[in-house]
């Protein structure tokens, strides 16, 4: 007992002889006990509350919704709450989505690999995601040239006794994730014919989730209505615009290039790191012969990926049509120096531009190189023009004849064939060629006018009507001008022949 307790006891002792002091004694004892308890009390140990697991339903909901921004939010929340399973799903899905949209996917793939390290199941999913090829317009043509062994190994994994498809039926990852990967393999990786039967059987069994509706929707044209309905219900699903735009162009019954352009531009604004989308825009402008706009779109793609071979070729053609010959030659040289893609086209357009700036030696060398890489009527026509420039008329005649053999509708070849034969003093053959040219231009005018009518009938907006009108009228005027030259030449040659 402590000193304080003893002292309290001593103070109470004088009350013992007096029976009336029992109450005081009891109070003294009680007070001493209280003081003793206070003197010996130890700090109380707090019991830690049981930690509740972080919430996951909001993250799962973002993944099930599946838009690109939704997946980004899912990944951010999963990282914030240290939920590696959901972080892996979001990162892997972002990798696939970036691949679908023609965007760089390395950052997302690196994130997925890091989370999957040491986990056999996730590592296998990483392998599946890595097997998906880039969009054809992404600009990574070298990546599309998968080595035969690698390609065969992927197909073996899909067709083996225990295939990737079997692996996807069970596992710790969500059903939404596993089904998304399964549909992706069927649509973008599997090359076997039976994949369509498997897809047809799978689609009706899929959970009713936006992310899966999207993936099925971009797979085949027949599912486009599902994609349109999804975007109407979820306007933030701008991811679908790129695929819907392509569907609009591919529609055999009623292609709608204006709708395609609107979709492409919407997707380009939402995903500015995509190289596939501006390349698609450039290609569409090229079909409209709107060369300044086409050039701007290709330059946008090249700003993101300077080695983009399709955008480089589009830029060369656009510069050539704009008669910016030196720039076109420089661009073609850059593509040629790359030494791999579109070499025939690059040599052709460089030869064409050299010819137009009177650099005949360079034009001849590039035209010869072109013929080792590709053969078509335009190549023979250009080669004939170069030979004629060198006054090698017999050789030029042969080249023009080859162009006509390949394409009887090569009106320019017939026109120049008549001209070179006239210089060879072979008037009957020259007249025959000119008559052929006139017939060719007559047919070309009829075809162009019919195309003009069809285009105007299909154009649904004032902008489309104005564009188609301008494009076809330019072409018709050019053919009419050349036909008038042919008729005048026929009259001249007829007079010359008559005077003999």
CA-based torsion, 159, 164, 167, 168: positive or negative: negative
Residues 23 and 62 in one domain: no
Residues 66 and 202 in one domain: yes
**Which pLDDT score, from 0 to 100, does residue 48 have?**
60
The tokens describing 311, both together, are 């955008």
**Which pLDDT score, from 0 to 100, does residue 9 have?**
42
pTM of the model: 0.85
Q: Quote the domain boundaries for residue 441.
A: 403-500
Residues 211 and 306 in one domain: no
**Which pLDDT score, from 0 to 100, does residue 454 have?**
87
In a domain, 344, yes or no: yes
Residues 72 and 161 in one domain: yes
Our count of domains for the chain comes to 4
Which residues, at least 6 apart from 125, have a Cβ–Cβ distance to it below 8 Å? Answer: 88, 92, 116, 173, 181
Which residues, at least 6 apart from 118, have a Cβ–Cβ distance to it below 8 Å? Answer: none
Residues 31 and 67 in one domain: no
**Which pLDDT score, from 0 to 100, does residue 148 have?**
58
Residues 61 and 210 in one domain: yes
- Across 246-380, where does the E strand assignment appear? none
**Rounded to whole angstroms, how far apart are CA atoms 453 and 441?**
18
Residues 370 and 407 in one domain: no
The tokens describing 241, both together, are 């615009």
Residues 96 and 31 in one domain: no
**Residue among 355, 352, 360, 353 nearest 378 (CA):** 352
**Rounded to whole angstroms, how far apart are CA atoms 364 and 486?**
27
Distances (CA, A) of 8 to 20, 36, 188, 313: 19, 10, 91, 105
Residues 280 and 135 in one domain: no
Distances (CA, A) of 324 to 291, 346, 365: 11, 15, 21
Centroid of chain to Cα 21: 100
- Domain limit, last residue, from 217, 249, 264: 217
CATH of the domain at 302: 1.25.40.10
In a domain, 96, yes or no: yes
Structure-token match 């089904």, residue found = 179
Contacts of the segment 477-484: beta carbons below 8 A, 24+ positions apart: 479/411, 479/441, 479/444, 479/445, 479/448, 480/445, 482/411, 482/412, 482/415, 482/441, 483/438, 483/441, 483/442, 483/445
- H-helix or E-strand containing 416? helix 411-423
Phi, psi of 209 (to 5 degrees): -125, 140
- Domain limit, last residue, from 217, 243, 262: 217
In a domain, 303, yes or no: yes
Residues 28 and 61 in one domain: no
pLDDT along the chain (500 residues), means of 10: 42 42 42 44 57 86 97 98 97 98 96 96 95 92 64 80 88 96 95 92 95 95 91 95 95 88 97 98 96 98 97 98 98 94 97 98 98 96 97 97 95 97 95 96 95 86 88 94 95 87
In a domain, 325, yes or no: yes
**Rounded to whole angstroms, how far apart are CA atoms 88 and 469?**
53
In a domain, 380, yes or no: no
In a domain, 222, yes or no: no
**Which pLDDT score, from 0 to 100, does residue 446 have?**
95
In a domain, 238, yes or no: no
Residues 337 and 473 in one domain: no
In a domain, 486, yes or no: yes
Which residues, at least 6 apart from 146, have a Cβ–Cβ distance to it below 8 Å? Answer: 133, 154
- Domain limit, last residue, from 171, 201, 217: 217
Residues 81 and 176 in one domain: yes
Structure-token match 């004629």, residue found = 388
**Residue among 316, 411, 405, 407 nearest 366 (CA):** 316
């Amino acid at each position: 007992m402590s000193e304080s307790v003893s002292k309290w006891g001593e103070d109470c002792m004088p009350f013992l002889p007096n029976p009336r002091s029992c109450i005081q004694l009891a109070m003294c004892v009680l007070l001493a006990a209280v003081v003793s308890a206070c003197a010996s009390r130890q700090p109380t140990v707090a019991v830690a509350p049981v930690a509740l697991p972080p919430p996951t339903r909001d993250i799962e909901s973002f993944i099930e919704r599946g838009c690109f921004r939704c997946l980004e939010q899912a990944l951010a929340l999963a990282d914030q709450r240290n939920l590696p399973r959901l972080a892996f799903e979001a990162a892997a899905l972002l990798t696939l989505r970036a691949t679908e949209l023609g965007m760089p996917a390395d950052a997302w793939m690196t994130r997925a690999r890091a989370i999957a390290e040491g986990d056999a199941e996730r590592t296998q999913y990483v392998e599946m995601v890595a097997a998906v090829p880039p969009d054809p317009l992404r600009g990574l043509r070298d990546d599309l040239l998968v080595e035969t062994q690698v390609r065969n190994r992927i197909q073996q994994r899909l067709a083996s006794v225990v295939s990737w498809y079997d692996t996807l039926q069970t596992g710790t990852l969500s059903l939404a994730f596993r089904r998304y990967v399964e549909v992706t393999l069927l649509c973008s990786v599997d090359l076997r014919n039976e994949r369509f039967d498997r897809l047809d059987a799978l689609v009706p069994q899929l959970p009713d989730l936006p992310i899966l509706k999207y993936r099925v929707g971009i797979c085949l044209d027949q599912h486009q209505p599902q994609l349109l309905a999804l975007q109407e219900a979820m306007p933030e699903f701008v991811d679908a615009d790129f695929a819907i735009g392509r569907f609009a162009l591919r529609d055999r019954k009623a292609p709608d290039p204006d709708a395609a352009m609107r979709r492409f531009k919407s997707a380009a604004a939402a995903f500015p790191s995509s190289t596939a989308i501006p390349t698609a825009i450039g290609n569409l402008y090229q079909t409209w012969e709107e060369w300044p706009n086409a050039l701007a779109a290709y330059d946008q793609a090249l700003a993101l990926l300077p080695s983009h071979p399709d955008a480089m070729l589009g830029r060369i053609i656009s510069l050539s049509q704009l008669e910016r010959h030196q720039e076109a030659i420089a661009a073609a040289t850059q593509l040629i120096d790359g030494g791999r893609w579109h070499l025939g086209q690059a040599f052709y357009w460089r030869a064409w531009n050299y010819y137009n700036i009177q650099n005949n030696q360079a034009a001849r060398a590039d035209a010869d190189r072109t013929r080792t890489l590709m053969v078509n009527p335009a190549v023979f026509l250009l080669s004939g023009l170069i030979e004629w420039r060198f006054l090698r008329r017999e050789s030029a005649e042969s080249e023009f004849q080859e162009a006509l053999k390949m394409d009887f509708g090569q009106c320019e070849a017939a026109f120049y064939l008549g001209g070179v034969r006239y210089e060879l003093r072979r008037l009957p053959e020259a007249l025959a060629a000119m008559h052929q040219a006139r017939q060719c231009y007559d047919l070309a005018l009829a075809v162009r006018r019919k195309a003009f009518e069809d285009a105007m009938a299909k154009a649904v907006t004032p902008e489309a009507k104005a564009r188609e009108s301008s494009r076809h009228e330019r072409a018709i005027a050019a053919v009419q001008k050349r036909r008038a030259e042919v008729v005048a030449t026929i009259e001249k040659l007829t007079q010359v022949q008559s005077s003999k």
